[in-house]
């Protein structure tokens, strides 16, 4: 079973998880800020310009709805 990295769209923390069939990170929670819904890290994808994020209302309270200002 392959291992993938999931990146928190809120604070950018990487979490390594075993990839399960059908899992895309939406059910994972960031161990750092508690943000629900992590993005599967794609190898070679180095963009740091994440704005907004697909999480929307799932952000932690400290996100204030804008992940760019989180932490
Ligand atoms: Zn986070």
The CA 1 to ligand 1 mean position distance, Å, reads 25
Which residues 6+ apart lie within 8 Å of 44 measured at CB? none
The CA 48 to ligand 1 mean position distance, Å, reads 14
The CA 34 to ligand 1 mean position distance, Å, reads 6
Q: Which residues are paired to 6 by β-bridges?
A: 15, 40
Expressed as residue numbers, the domain containing 67 is 1-71
**Distance, CA of 30 to CA of 13 (rounded, Å):** 7
Q: pTM higher than 0.75 for the full model?
A: no
Residue 32 has pLDDT above 90, yes or no: yes
pLDDT, mean of residues 45-60: 50
pLDDT of residue 34: 94
pLDDT of residue 2: 76
How many domains are there within the chain?
Answer: 1
pLDDT of residue 11: 94
**Distance, CA of 52 to CA of 20 (rounded, Å):** 27
The CA 49 to ligand 1 mean position distance, Å, reads 15
pLDDT of residue 54: 46
Residue 53 has pLDDT above 70, yes or no: no
């Amino acid at each position: 079973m392959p291992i993938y990295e999931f990146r928190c769209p809120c604070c950018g923390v990487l979490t390594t998880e075993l990839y399960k069939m059908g899992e895309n990170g939406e059910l994972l929670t960031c161990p750092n800020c508690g943000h629900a819904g992590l993005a599967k890290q794609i190898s070679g994808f180095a963009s740091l310009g994440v704005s907004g994020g697909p999480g929307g209302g799932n952000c932690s309270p400290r996100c204030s709805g804008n992940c760019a200002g989180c932490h």
